[in-house]
Amino acid sequence: MITEFVIMGNHPFSIVEEVKFRDIIAKGFPKRKCIYRKTLMHKISTTAKNKLTSTSVKYVCVTTDGWSVYKRSYIGMIVHWFNYTTLLRESAVLAFKRIKGRHTYDVITKMICKVFCKYGIINKVTRVVTDNGSNFVEVFRVFGSEMKTAAEVLLDQIEHENDNRDDSDGDEDAEDGIEVIELDYILNNTDDQDIAYSLPPHHRCASHIPYLKSCCYKR
């Protein structure tokens, strides 16, 4: 109930550690202990990760944007997907991070890849939607993959399912000599020059183009 209160009300996580809030919980639910900020953040992050990595969510779209305020730069990422039961669109915040230094295309690329690897959705993202900022355009010009048609996506999915079926029929002993390394570890412990980044296809926000044109006409 506290988790829903914080999320649905857009309250800061720190509210659960305020004295008056803890007094309300203590008097209303004397047999229960109030959750702490770090525990709440971990719980929300784990729930979102489990939902995104589940087999019920096969394809997602990510919107991302960067901005500067008071000489500080930030990047935000939101993931969107369709609920196959209700056919309603659902969304969740993936990241809201501070960008230290200049927000160049290589810095942004590394941050996006780290978020994708953290939630294990790198193979589920069909498009990444951004504005027409030169840094984001450069990110996907250098590291973005080409857009595929619906038929090509379907063929890739069929081939992937066939490959998984063939692998399951193979000898399980072949996995004994394989060492599993997390991608997040590679991103944190490898020089940027040694990593060949590969991002999903890029889609520019359509509403941002008329906005830029209107700004030019005003000038």
Percent of the chain with pLDDT over 90: 13
Averaged pLDDT for residues 103-125: 89
Measured in whole angstroms, the distance separating CA 127 from the mean position of its chain's CA atoms is: 12
Average pLDDT, the chain: 78
- Tokens in use for 132? 């027409």
CA distance 130 to 199: 13
Average pLDDT of span 146-158: 60
- Triad 194, 145, 54: Cα angle to 5°: 90
pLDDT value at residue 203: 87
Mean pLDDT, range 91-112, rounded to an integer: 88
Spatial distance between the Cα atoms of 82 and 69, rounded to a whole number of angstroms: 33
- pLDDT of 24 reads 87
Q: What is the pTM of this model?
A: 0.66
